[in-house]
Structure 1
């Protein structure tokens, strides 16, 4: 009976994945038009433009919208693997394959004795909640590398370190996967991989690290937590503006630098909390590495001055790995992240015009989405702390002395 039930669950999971992914492909291929602005222009215009530059053997050093580590070039160039398709179509197919790789990894891990298929269901259900944006950005490819790194951690720490380092050179955040790594092999493999890959790009392709100088003049992206200040302030005389800046729609004007600095302060505070946790944590279980990575990426996403919709793909992938463990304590935070994913597709792309206009609907969507992310962050951090940091043992009571009745000694 259990085997039959598991077979049916797997069948339903695969059917659901196939139908939802077919729908996503139909949207990015524009067989059906998804409401809101066209999310595919990043691939057909921006990525394709970078592709033409990267093919010449150099990075787009004069394009301030290129803000990615050097290995991101591999994702942008990947459609060359399918020369019989046009660039955009090839990219969407490869994004679909990355999605399938994540599912295959979660299914393989879910069959182990201490695991469950809940993680695969989180991935299957969570990705379509974000709409076609998932296949119109290369973040799903990065997430596949991150999921592979976490799942490799238990059996091969060195493979985990190498994959995390490679992921960090794709889009920085996978470096956080090493937060709870306890074996030196993971860190050694990460350092060797990072140095080797970075040096290779620096030697072969000029401008590999130009992206480091393209972040200084950024504003506050309109979907971020800090942006809520300006969405409200616009109704009370704030005279700033909303512009497409550095590849995203941002607030520019008075006090924006103050809010951006505050976001950096919050990120620093989050990093401090994570360091404190790492020093005090003593109880590590099989799922602790995944839980810690989930908490860390939640913290850095929520406090960032930019919360692009594709960032949610990272959280869904890490949430899926967490719930793949039967003993994971992250059920509530994962549920909150999935709810935030659904609200995200409402604010972008469906009603993004309302967000840009800072009207009541746009502000409400951001308050709800960012509120869900904040709640998920706090809940996940609390669960991680409770599960790994021992409470202080109560001070031992002083030894009790038993009184004996004194009898006079006769001489």
Structure 2
């Protein structure tokens, strides 16, 4: 049974990833804007600056924590390829590593292969954009952290902290973690790595100012206000600003402030949940992390297409646990991935123009994410705050005799 599952996973992974490579290598041209330009242009420019021992202090598009320098510098490991091609190959290998970890976990007794299937299906739904950003690498760290957490809480804490220094959001992996060892390991790792970058390379934390000055990106939930307002006389503009296409003009700051307020409310809800939760089961840490990242994604001023690979990775970890309550939110996220590819890059010109097609796609994609967030928060709350709820029993593995005692398994 295990061999058959691995065979089917490989049978889907190989052709879908080959197709993604053919698109980013431009053997085939994917419709819409060139999604690889960030790698060949922006990433490569950062690479040249970082090799000189400093961060890109004069580039406001550098909006990442200091450890992000590592994936940007990683194509140097393959000097026989040009920068962009080396980057795509490394993302492919990382994608394969994530699948290997999920498949290994999913074929163990008491676990499920559904998580590996979510990863195999979810990544290609995002189109070639997913291979043209370094988010797969960050997601790999998050997946490894959560899967290690059950037996090695210190590893979870260390990887979560390192992931947070790659792209901030993996800090939310700790939301549902109760073991103090994980938190101590996270604090020590964050302090050591951050101090190392601060001493070794000037400008390690300049990204904080650049993030503060961002506006409302055209794909975010708040941007829907301006997409509709443009049809009723709103006099603002859509411009490339701080590395993304954003709305600039009247009331944009107000909508951005509302988005930040909603993020604050999301933090408040997570704190309240943590104080009231009484049941922390093996799947709770993954379910809580998935819910937290959904909350921060939908309330963000920016919802770039690559953000959804975070959700796919976390959903995959959740579904490695048969007792996870995140199946419905996972289906909604996978649907949102498909719609995301339609709005970027396929019909991004319609999104920028705020025409009927573009606005409809954004309403559908963001609506699916909002529904997934509500469903995840509700399921997490019900699963963890009711002390009288029956504890889920993992199904008997098909590879074991039906009368194998649970204690033996």
Distance 1:110 1:264 in 2: 37
Mapping for residues 121-270 of structure 1, pairs under 5 Å:
121-270=117-266
Could you tell me how far apart the structure 2 residues matched to 1:217 and 1:111 are? 46
3-state secondary structure, aligned to 1:250: strand
Match of 2:116 among 117, 120, 138: 120
- The residue aligned with 1:21 is 17
Structure-to-structure mapping, 1:68-83, within 5 angstroms: 68-83=64-79
Cα deviation for residue 212 of structure 1 reads: 0.9
Q: Hey, what does 1:284 align to over in structure 2?
A: 280
Partner of 1:61: 57
1-side partners of 2:143 and 2:5: how far apart? Answer: 22
* Counterpart-to-counterpart distance in 2, 1:82 and 1:392: 55
Return 5+ residue gaps in structure 1 as ranges.
394-411
Aligned to 1:406: none
On the 8 A contact 2:64/2:167 being kept in 1, the answer is: yes
Contact 2:279–2:387 at 8 Å: present in 1 too? no
Q: Distance in 2 between matches of 1:159 and 1:217?
A: 34
Say which SS state the counterpart of residue 71 (structure 1) adopts: helix
d(CA) in 2 for partners of 1:137, 1:335: 24
Q: Could you tell me which residue of structure 1 aligns to residue 327 of structure 2?
A: 331
Contact 2:220 2:301 in 1 (8 A): yes
2:370 matched to which residue of 1? 374
The RMSD of aligned alpha carbons is: 1.0
Please give the alpha-carbon distance, in whole angstroms, between the structure 2 residues aligned to 1:139 and 1:119. Answer: 18
How far, CA to CA, are the matches of 1:361 and 1:16 in structure 2?
A: 31
The separation in 2 between residues aligned to 1:153 and 1:176, in whole angstroms, is 14
Bigger Cα Rg? 1
TM-score by length of 2: 0.94
Instruction: Look up the match of 1:356.
Output: 352
**1:329, distance to aligned residue in structure 2 (A):** 1.1
Per-residue CA deviation, residues 19-51 of structure 1 (Å, 9 max, x unaligned), is 100000000000000010000000000000000
Q: Secondary structure at the match of 1:214?
A: helix
Q: CA deviation at 1:12?
A: 1.2
- Map of 2:82 onto structure 1: 86
Residue 42 of structure 1 corresponds to 38
In structure 2, what is the Cα distance between the partners aligned to 1:215 and 1:125?
Answer: 32
Find the aligned partners of 1:11 and 1:198 in 2 and give their Cα distance.
Answer: 42
Alpha-carbon distance between aligned partners in 2 of 1:187 and 1:114, rounded to the nearest angstrom = 27
Distance in 2 (CA, whole Å) between partners of 1:218 and 1:195 is: 27
Displacement of 1:112 after TM fit?
2.0
For the residues of structure 2 that align with 1:198 and 1:325, how far apart are their CA atoms? 33
Deviation at 1:358, TM superposition (A): 0.0
